């Protein structure tokens, strides 16, 4: 912590020196141009960043430390693996001497073949002497014995065995037919509590009896791991895996349980909260050395704190530099913004403002020139607009006034009434009402009730020309007085009259509220000839590109468009038809 505080004061001292250096630069270089100011400011910032980057480069020490740890782990693992393999090799050599073809095993063969007690006594002493010589030359060997599994009898043991001696209870590390390598366990000698490794060898004597040779030697694996852990300042965990990747020994019983499967396919990696490294032993088992990730990354965490501190200092310095740049650039920009707003309000007066920065002063001069050009353009546009307005007035003089058409129809209506042509007067009156409503000249509000009224007037006109029947099923209610889009029912009925029904056909109109009176459902169907699938598909297109398609169903496409414009996605129109069975058009409108 003391070192970090010293570093902070060291960096602040250099920062003060840098500020003084900038003051000297101000006297050397002219700061009247934006270019010089930006160059000097960014240079100072880059120098600070580069200075900090030198410190950040020390982060490479983490990589060096990581490589060092991996090297130490690999060396310690190789050392332990070689030491364990050497112990198994020594035990295997002893079992070879005790096999029937070995020097000790041949004496045992003679012992079993001897019939006289004296010969047996002499041979037993020779066997004991040979075994003693073996244990003397291999000081770590603790127990050597022959074991007969059928009677659980042991003979020629150099030391007494445990009362509960059982080979089945010992952990098998590798099983190669007649030879079994056993992982570290407690000694089976009655007078020893040491940790040992053992080898079991199955043999058959000439008399046909199958015996087992059991040899164990002292193993310092646990002590070695503890010493290596203290030396490396990391809690090592040594694990032995059999050919099926099952744990057969673990120096830390809390890390992995016996029999647990560890799938370690690479030479090193991460397993849960551990970093591991493994090596081949020369046998079929694997030796794995693990370290908790927390201990492995301890140095990294320390350096990470240093990096965070450096990052914080970098942010402070960059913020300081940013504020300086904002003061240099943003103030003139705010003047530009204010002038742009004044232009939006119509103020075209020339700006008299000097920033002391040559580049901005030139921009303000060009800005004043632009104002003059805008004033000239606005004057030109105004003249063109006045000319265009004059042309529009002249054009309107020659256009037909819809008001004139309505007044003319009204005059014809009263002329028919004066001459007692009541049918003609009724037709003209109805047509006048339809035209007034459809072009928006009528005083009637655009409600569903008005739409139905207009639709009835239209049907009345059409029934003067065509012979068809209309069935209305309209549920009365307040919903009929809600506003709807104008001119949405007549095109649907018109389509049914001209393209749907034949002579003596029927059109059925159903209007009702649905969805708890939240929507209006309108169904207009006929019993005409119907529409084939191809024509129906063209009618259902919302935006047809084909010119032939555009000529068909203009009224229905208009209804769909006006619904989209008036209601958005809240309303829809569906068309269902079957050749020979008529067509049904359904409108669903939300109640507003």
Judgement on whether residues 256 and 187 belong to the same structural domain of the protein: yes
Tell me if 239 is assigned to some domain: yes
Task: Give CA–CA dist 36/363, Å, rounded.
Answer: 17
Six-digit token string for 37? 């100011």
pLDDT in the model for residue 401:
44
pLDDT in the model for residue 260:
87
Tell me if 411 is assigned to some domain: no
Of 560, 589, 430, nearest in space to 495 by CA: 560
Six-digit token string for 355? 């920033």
Residues of the chain with pLDDT under 70: 1-40, 42-43, 46-47, 50-51, 53-62, 64-66, 299-300, 311, 315, 319, 322, 326, 330, 347-348, 350-355, 387-426, 438-443, 542-553, 592
Judgement on whether residues 364 and 252 belong to the same structural domain of the protein: no
Task: Give CA–CA dist 8/347, Å, rounded.
Answer: 54
Order of all β-strands in the sheet with 505-514: 468-474, 505-514, 519-526, 582-590, 572-578
CATH label of the domain that carries residue 71: 3.30.450.20
Judgement on whether residues 257 and 376 belong to the same structural domain of the protein: no
Tell me if 463 is assigned to some domain: yes
Tell me if 338 is assigned to some domain: no
Judgement on whether residues 462 and 362 belong to the same structural domain of the protein: no
pLDDT in the model for residue 547:
45
Task: Give CA–CA dist 221/238, Å, rounded.
Answer: 8
Question: How many angstroms separate the first and last alpha carbons of the chain?
Answer: 71
**Residue pLDDT, tens place only, 408-453:** 555 566 656 666 666 666 677 777 777 777 666 666 778 899 889 8
Question: In this prediction, what percent of the chain has a pLDDT beyond 70?
Answer: 74
Pairing of strands 582-590, 141-148: unpaired
Judgement on whether residues 140 and 75 belong to the same structural domain of the protein: yes
Q: What is the Rg, in whole angstroms, of the alpha carbon atoms belonging to the chain?
A: 52
CB atoms < 10 A from the CB of 485, how many? Answer: 20
Judgement on whether residues 246 and 121 belong to the same structural domain of the protein: yes
Q: Domain containing 358: what range?
A: 348-397
pLDDT in the model for residue 233:
78
Tell me if 75 is assigned to some domain: yes
Judgement on whether residues 110 and 213 belong to the same structural domain of the protein: yes
Judgement on whether residues 130 and 264 belong to the same structural domain of the protein: yes
Judgement on whether residues 78 and 173 belong to the same structural domain of the protein: yes
pLDDT in the model for residue 513:
93
C-alpha angle 472-474-480 in degrees, rounded to nearest 5 = 135
C-alpha angle 365-30-48 in degrees, rounded to nearest 5 = 115
Considering its fold, how many domains does the chain have in total?
3
pLDDT in the model for residue 525:
93
Instruction: List C-alpha distances in Å: 381 to 340, 350, 385, 389.
Output: 20, 21, 6, 12
Residue 16 and residue 34 in contact, taking contact as beta carbons nearer than 8 Å: no
Per-residue DSSP letter, 469: E
Instruction: List C-alpha distances in Å: 349 to 257, 360, 383.
Output: 88, 18, 21
Residue 114 and residue 123 in contact, taking contact as beta carbons nearer than 8 Å: yes
pLDDT in the model for residue 399:
39
Judgement on whether residues 212 and 277 belong to the same structural domain of the protein: yes
Judgement on whether residues 120 and 259 belong to the same structural domain of the protein: yes
Of 397, 421, 455, the last residue of a domain is: 397
Six-digit token string for 88? 């198994």
Question: E strand or H helix at 101, and its extent?
Answer: none
Tell me if 29 is assigned to some domain: no
Phi and psi dihedrals of 156, rounded to 5?
60, 35
pLDDT in the model for residue 297:
73
| DSSP class per residue in 123-151 | HHHHHHHHHHHHHHHSTTEEEEEEEETTT
CATH label of the domain that carries residue 511: 3.30.565.10
C-alpha angle 305-306-308 in degrees, rounded to nearest 5 = 65
Judgement on whether residues 481 and 374 belong to the same structural domain of the protein: no
Task: Give CA–CA dist 188/185, Å, rounded.
Answer: 9
pLDDT in the model for residue 216:
93
Tell me if 279 is assigned to some domain: yes
Task: Give CA–CA dist 208/217, Å, rounded.
Answer: 29
**Residue pLDDT, tens place only, 299-341:** 667 777 777 777 677 767 876 776 777 677 767 777 777 777 7
Q: Which residues contact 553 (CB under 8 A, 6 or more apart)?
A: 495, 538, 539
pLDDT in the model for residue 519:
92
pLDDT in the model for residue 538:
83
pLDDT in the model for residue 78:
84
Task: Give CA–CA dist 580/121, Å, rounded.
Answer: 120
pLDDT in the model for residue 274:
85
Tell me if 343 is assigned to some domain: no
Pairing of strands 179-186, 172-176: antiparallel
Task: Give CA–CA dist 573/557, Å, rounded.
Answer: 10
């Amino acid at each position: 912590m003391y070192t970090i505080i010293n570093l902070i004061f060291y960096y602040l001292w250099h920062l003060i020196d840098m500020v003084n250096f900038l003051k000297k630069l101000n006297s050397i270089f002219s700061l009247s141009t934006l270019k010089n100011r930006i160059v000097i400011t960014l240079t100072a910032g880059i120098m600070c960043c580069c200075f900090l980057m030198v410190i950040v480069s020390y982060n490479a020490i983490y990589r060096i430390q990581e490589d060092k740890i991996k090297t130490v782990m690999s060396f310690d693992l190789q050392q332990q693996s070689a030491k364990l393999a050497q112990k198994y090799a020594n035990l295997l050599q002893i079992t070879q001497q005790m096999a029937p073809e070995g020097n000790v095993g041949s004496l045992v063969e003679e012992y079993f073949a001897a019939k006289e007690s004296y010969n047996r006594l002499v041979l037993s002493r020779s066997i004991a002497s040979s075994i003693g010589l073996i244990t003397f030359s291999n000081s770590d060997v603790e127990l050597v014995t022959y074991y007969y599994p059928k009677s659980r009898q042991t003979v020629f043991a150099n030391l007494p065995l445990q009362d509960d001696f059982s080979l089945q209870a010992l952990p098998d590390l590798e099983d190669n037919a007649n030879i079994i390598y056993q992982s570290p366990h407690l000694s089976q000698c009655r007078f020893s509590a040491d940790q040992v490794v053992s080898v079991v060898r199955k043999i058959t004597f000439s008399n046909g009896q199958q015996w087992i040779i059991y040899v164990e030697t002292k193993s310092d694996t646990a002590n070695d791991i503890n010493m290596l852990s203290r030396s490396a300042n990391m809690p090592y965990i040594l694990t032995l895996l059999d050919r099926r990747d099952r744990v057969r020994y673990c120096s830390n019983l809390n890390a992995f349980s016996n029999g647990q499967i560890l799938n370690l396919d690479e030479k090193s990696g991460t397993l849960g909260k551990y970093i591991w490294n493994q090596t081949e032993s020369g046998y079929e088992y694997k030796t794995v050395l693990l370290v908790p990730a927390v201990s492995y990354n301890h140095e990294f965490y320390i350096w990470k704190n240093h990096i965070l501190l450096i990052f914080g200092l970098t942010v402070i310095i960059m913020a300081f530099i940013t504020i300086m740049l904002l003061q240099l650039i943003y103030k003139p920009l705010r003047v530009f913004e204010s002038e742009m707003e004044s232009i939006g309000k119509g103020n075209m007066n020339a700006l008299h403002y000097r920033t002391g920065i040559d580049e901005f002063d030139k921009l303000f001069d060009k800005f004043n020139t632009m104002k003059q050009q805008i004033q000239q353009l606005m004057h030109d546009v105004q003249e063109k607009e006045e000319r265009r307005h004059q042309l529009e007035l002249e054009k309107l003089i020659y256009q037909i006034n819809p008001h004139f058409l309505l007044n003319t129809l009204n005059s014809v209506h009263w002329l028919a009434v004066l001459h007692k042509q009541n049918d003609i007067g009724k037709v003209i009156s109805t047509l006048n009402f339809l035209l007034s409503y459809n072009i928006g000249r009528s005083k009637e509000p655009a409600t569903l009730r008005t739409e139905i009224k207009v639709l009835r007037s239209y049907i009345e006109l059409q029934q003067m020309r065509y012979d068809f029947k209309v069935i209305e099923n309209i549920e009365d209610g307040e919903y009929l007085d809600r506003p709807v889009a104008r001119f949405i029912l007549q095109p649907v009925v018109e389509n049914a009259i001209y393209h749907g029904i034949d002579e003596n056909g029927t059109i059925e109109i159903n209007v009702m509220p649905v969805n708890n009176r939240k929507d209006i459902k309108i169904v207009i169907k006929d019993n005409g000839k119907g529409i084939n699938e191809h024509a129906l598909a063209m009618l259902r297109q919302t935006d047809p590109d084909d010119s032939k398609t555009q000529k068909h169903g203009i009224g229905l496409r208009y209804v769909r468009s006006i619904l989209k414009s008036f209601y958005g996605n809240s309303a829809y129109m569906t068309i269902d038809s079957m050749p020979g069975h008529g067509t049904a058009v359904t409108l669903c409108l939300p109640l507003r």
